[in-house]
Amino acid sequence: MKLGILGGGQLGRMLLQAAGNYTLETFVLENDTTCPAAHLCHHFTLGDIRDFDTVYAFGKQVDVLTIEIENINIDALFQLQKEGVKVIPSPEAIAIIKDKGIQKQFYADHHIPTAPFVLTDNKTAIEANVDFLPAANKLRTGGYDGKGVELLFGANDLPRAFVEPSLLEKMVDIKKEIAVLVGVGIDGATVVYEPTEMVFDPKLNLVDYLIAPADITSEQIKTAETIALHAVKALQSPGLFAVELFLSANDEIVVNEIAPRAHNSGHQTIEGNLISQYDMQLRIFQELPLGLPTNRGFSAMYNLIGEAGSQGHTIYQGLDKALAMEGVFVHQYGKSTTKPGRKMGHVTIVENDKASLLEKLSMVKRQIHVIGDKTIAL
Amino acid sequence: MKLGILGGGQLGRMLLQAAGNYTLETFVLENDTTCPAAHLCHHFTLGDIRDFDTVYAFGKQVDVLTIEIENINIDALFQLQKEGVKVIPSPEAIAIIKDKGIQKQFYADHHIPTAPFVLTDNKTAIEANVDFLPAANKLRTGGYDGKGVELLFGANDLPRAFVEPSLLEKMVDIKKEIAVLVGVGIDGATVVYEPTEMVFDPKLNLVDYLIAPADITSEQIKTAETIALHAVKALQSPGLFAVELFLSANDEIVVNEIAPRAHNSGHQTIEGNLISQYDMQLRIFQELPLGLPTNRGFSAMYNLIGEAGSQGHTIYQGLDKALAMEGVFVHQYGKSTTKPGRKMGHVTIVENDKASLLEKLSMVKRQIHVIGDKTIAL
């Protein structure tokens, strides 16, 4: 089978590592020959994933076409699907998800619990809704990795509001952030991973670390899994989806957003589960059984982010200490240069008891630092 | 770091899958552009691993040079080592191992227990040693995957004896075959994996399946690990080594042979241990800590061998059934054509209890068949 991937970042890299377990001919499209996934495929194409002709020509070569980022030319995906290429996830699902306004409206239309929201075409519309604050102001398209989100607590924050089409989402008093991976086969079969718990770095608005399984009640697990499965089923698309949920202070569970692909919140499944999120994608693409992705004990995932104060050639400090500990795995993303806030890798820790897991996590966080070889102003 | 691999088979493929976790620039030399590892490296060179000039030129580009098969040009490795390339394992260790005569003499010289043997330059020398039979007659060089070994029980079998330089090894009354992986860092640090138990297919003389950990007494585990570590230390080389041992009917443990690289008997470490044999190699190459490769419960590995009666384009039958079971992993080697006896992949099974492991193993053996699209005479 010929598998095409739009985007050559770390998600593509890890997918291609897993793809080596199967008989797949792999294709990657990305506008950078040194991107993390470029050297792990059979055929690399240099080109812009946002350009119709480029994506169309790339997609015509393959049997299954997938994405590792939503910011792709979706018209080309619709055309390719019409011409018989299996696009997974479906262009329809990507279209719903890549515009956060349409995504929110989709939740409302399908009775999927989510925080109240107002769609805003411009800054004037936001100003007219000052009574709706405090709210998260989210760009409808183009946001990623914490970019494209501003927290507006009141009128004083309006200068930071977006001028582009965006939405205001009522701020949830968050007790925990939870993620649930859901796999959907081409035949409609589904599989749900046990919920994980994400802890965010408030400065970078990126997942700082993650614990699996989430420390929530069995009732909450059931509710989170039910909501996630319902939301993903409503998309009516095969694929692997990451559903991010909020557990609010008053114990309500609402959908934050869905990623129609492998996700940062699922990296720990490589070592922490019997089926990784990448292997699950490959099973779906090949119409193999989805299987049982049972957790293998406790696991934690810690993002390695380029630190403030330096950039340039990437240096990973402290690996010698971290990798001496039992059950600690590193994933370097192969990005030759770092800058503050850039995702440069992650560490997964597996353990049989949670206390040891948290202890090792805290050591890893102290030990590993990703810096560049050039000092810059803080 | 620039890592070169001589050989592009399945061992290279799995090594390169693991290498995606690090910042490595990878190079592969093989005489087949469609070999299992060709598409998973940064730089593929088409060429003969047995040719001095080819290996020398290839090796001059890299910092660390390794092998995935012993049948390489060793003179080039000695020259490259002299010129500062880190060759892991050392050319000296490869030279000892690639000639089974030198290897056996090495065991004798270093008081490493091994079955009695006689070196034989030709058939006449074998005939002169008919009293030494029953013995395994092994080609000194060039044997692999069960080829290059003839079992001679008595004078009647002499027509099957090798005319080339070979050796006669006293046949051991084998109770079990055991394998122990040993990692040696550049700094001399060592790590020993728990012994595994190999069950051979007598017809193909290939590992049929393997169980980890081996079902032997704690005393035998200790002895096997001690012998394996002693034998590998005597080679005085960094690298990952697979030590194959016999447990005899009278409970003696002797070394059968050593592979100076990742080995079929260690495939199950990918899912079955906290550090796979491939990750261990990468830790050694990069002078990272060797860590603790603890077993994650029980695991089994079953080789997928091209079946008798067909050849041609590879077809994997029964994956749909096998992969529906919890804890079953497949590794297809990406060989476009199969033939009877060819190693086409393997299945790993992980389980918390041994009875379930053996039950799943027996189901997998019934379910999966690797055949070609052309029928041939049995």
A280 in reach of chain B (CB within 8 A): no
Residues of A in contact with B320 (CB under 8 A): 288-289
Q: Hey, is the C-beta of B299 within 8 angstroms of any chain A C-beta?
A: no
Q: What value does the mean pLDDT take over residues B22-40?
A: 97
Nearest residue of B to residue A349 by CA position? B274
Residue B42 has pLDDT above 90, yes or no: yes
| Closest Cβ opposite residue A288 in set B13, B22, B319 | B319
Q: Which residues of A touch B13 (CB under 8 A)?
A: 20
Burial of A339 (0-12, 13-18, 19+ CB in 10 A): middle
Both B282 and B301 in one domain: the answer is yes
For tokens 């239309």, what's the residue? A109
Residues A77 and A223 in one domain: no
Domain that holds residue A193: 174-375
Looking at residue A145, its pLDDT comes to 66
Contact with chain B for residue A339, Cβ under 8 A: no
pLDDT of residue B145: 65
Q: What is the rounded distance in angstroms from the CA atom of residue B249 to the CA atom of residue A286?
A: 47
Interval A246-254 mean pLDDT: 96
What's the mean pLDDT in A62-84? 97
Predicted complex ipTM: 0.95
Q: Is residue A121 located within the same domain as residue A264?
A: no
B17, B291, B323: residue with CB nearest A288: B323
Of all residues in chain B, what percent carry a pLDDT higher than 90?
Answer: 94
A250 and A152 part of one domain: no
Q: Which residue in chain A has the smallest CA separation from B280?
A: A323
Residue A337 falls within a domain, yes or no? yes
* CATH classification of the domain holding B294: 3.30.470.20
Number of domains chain A contains: 3
Q: Give buried/exposed letters for A312-323 (b at 16+ CB in 10 A, else e).
A: bebebeebeebb
Interface residue A13 vs chain B (CB under 8 A): yes
Q: How far is A276 from chain B (nearest CA, A)?
A: 11
In a shared domain, residues A233 and A249: yes
Domain-located, residue B103: no
Q: Which of A36, A39, A48, A45 is nearest to A4 (CA)?
A: A45
Neighbour order of strands in the sheet with B166-170? B117-120, B166-170, B135-139, B149-152
pLDDT-derived band of residue A262, with 50, 70 and 90 as boundaries?
A: very high
- Residue of B13, B39, B320 lying closest to A41 (CB–CB): B39
Q: Is residue A305 part of a domain?
A: yes
Q: So what's the pLDDT on residue B23? A: 96
Amino acid letter, B109: D
Residue pLDDT, tens place only, A203-233: 777 778 999 999 999 999 999 999 999 999 9
Q: What pLDDT shows up at residue A208?
A: 85
The rounded distance, in Å, linking the Cα atoms of A179 and A213 is 10
The answer to whether residue B106 sits within a structural domain is no
A22 interfaces chain B, CB cutoff of 8 Å: yes
- At B139 the pLDDT is 94
Question: Which residue reads 């480029």 in tokens?
Answer: A54
Q: What is the end-to-end Cα distance of chain A in Å, rounded?
A: 48
Q: Do B23 and A330 touch (CB under 8 A)?
A: no
| Contacts of residue B84, Cβ cutoff 8 Å, sequence gap at least 6 | none
Looking at residue B200, its pLDDT comes to 81
Q: What is the DSSP letter of A101?
A: H
Tell me which chain B residues have a C-beta less than 8 angstroms from the C-beta of A364: none
* Chain B CB within 8 Å of residue A323 CB: yes
pLDDT at A201 over 90: no
Would you call B22 and A327 a contact, using CB atoms and an 8 Å cutoff? no
B207 — pLDDT class (breaks 50, 70, 90): confident
**What residues contact residue A63 under an 8 Å CB cut-off, 6+ apart?**
A1, A2, A3, A85, A86
| Position A200 confidence tier, pLDDT thresholds 50, 70, 90 | confident
Q: Does a structural domain hold residue B350?
A: yes
Q: Is B34 in contact with B56 (CB distance < 8 Å)?
A: no
- A to B CB pairs, distance under 8 Å: 87
**What mean pLDDT is predicted for residues B233-242?**
98
Q: Is residue B244 domain-resident?
A: yes
Out of A289, A319, A328, the one facing B323 most closely (by C-beta) is: A289
Residues of B in contact with A332 (CB under 8 A): 21-23
Domain of residue B52, CATH code: 3.40.50.20
By the 8 A CB rule, do B56 and B76 touch? yes
B35 and B11 within one domain: yes
State whether residue A303 is helix, strand or coil: strand
Write the CB contacts of B362 (distance below 8 Å, at least 6 apart in sequence).
none
pLDDT tens-digit series, residues B364-374: 999 999 999 99
Which domain CATH number covers B157?
3.30.1490.20
CA distance B321 to chain A (A): 8
Give the model confidence (pLDDT) of B87-140 as tens digits.
Answer: 999 999 999 999 999 999 999 999 999 999 999 999 999 999 999 999 999 999
Residue A107 is assigned to a structural domain of this protein: no
Chain B, nearest residue to A16 by Cα: B17
Residue B339 has pLDDT above 80, yes or no: yes
Mutation target among B1, B2, B11, B22 for the A interface, most CBs of A within 10 A: B22
Task: Look at A316 and B23 and tell me if their CB atoms are within 8 Å.
Answer: yes
Q: Identify whether residues A237 and A371 lie together within a single domain.
A: yes
Distance from the Cα of B104 to chain A's closest Cα (Å) equals 35
Same domain? For A210 and A312 the reply is yes
- Among A134-148, A271-285, B56-70, B333-347, whose mean pLDDT is lowest? A134-148
Mean pLDDT of A123-144: 91
The answer as to whether B355 is a domain residue is: yes
Same domain, yes or no: B212 and B166? no
B329 contact A CB<8A: yes
On whether both A199 and A128 belong to a single domain, the answer is no
Residues of A in contact with B314 (CB under 8 A): 23
Q: Do B22 and A332 touch (CB under 8 A)?
A: yes
**Residue B121 and residue B24 share a domain:** no
Decide if A40 contacts A18 (C-beta within 8 A). Answer: no
Task: Calculate the average pLDDT of chain B.
Answer: 95
B70 and B146 share a domain?
Answer: no
Q: What secondary structure letter does DSSP report for A68?
A: S
Question: Among B130, B155, B170, where does a domain finish?
Answer: B170
Average pLDDT rounded to a whole number, residues A289-311? 96
Q: Is B296 on the interface with A (CB under 8 A)?
A: yes
Q: How many angstroms separate the CA of residue A82 from the nearest CA in chain B?
A: 28
pLDDT score recorded for residue A143? 76
Residues A366 and A304 sit within 8 Å (Cβ to Cβ): no
Provide the pLDDT for residue A261: 97
pLDDT band at A335 (very low <50, low <70, confident <90, very high): very high
**Contact partners, residue A121, CB within 8 Å, separation at least 6:** A165
**A317 in B contact zone (CB under 8 Å):** no
Nearest CA in chain A to B330: A21
Of B170, B189, B209, the position where a domain reaches its end is B170
Q: Which of B170, B192, B216 is the last residue of a domain?
A: B170
What pLDDT, in 10s, does the model give residues A141-159? 877 666 889 999 999 999 9
pLDDT for residue B360 is more than 90: yes
Average pLDDT for residues B16-36, to the nearest whole number? 98
Query: What's the rounded mean pLDDT across residues A250-264?
Result: 96
Question: Residues A324, A330, A334, CA angle at the centre, nearest 5°?
Answer: 135
Residue B269, token pair as written in the block: 């470490």
User: Is beta strand A343-351 parallel, antiparallel or unpaired with respect to B43-46?
Assistant: unpaired
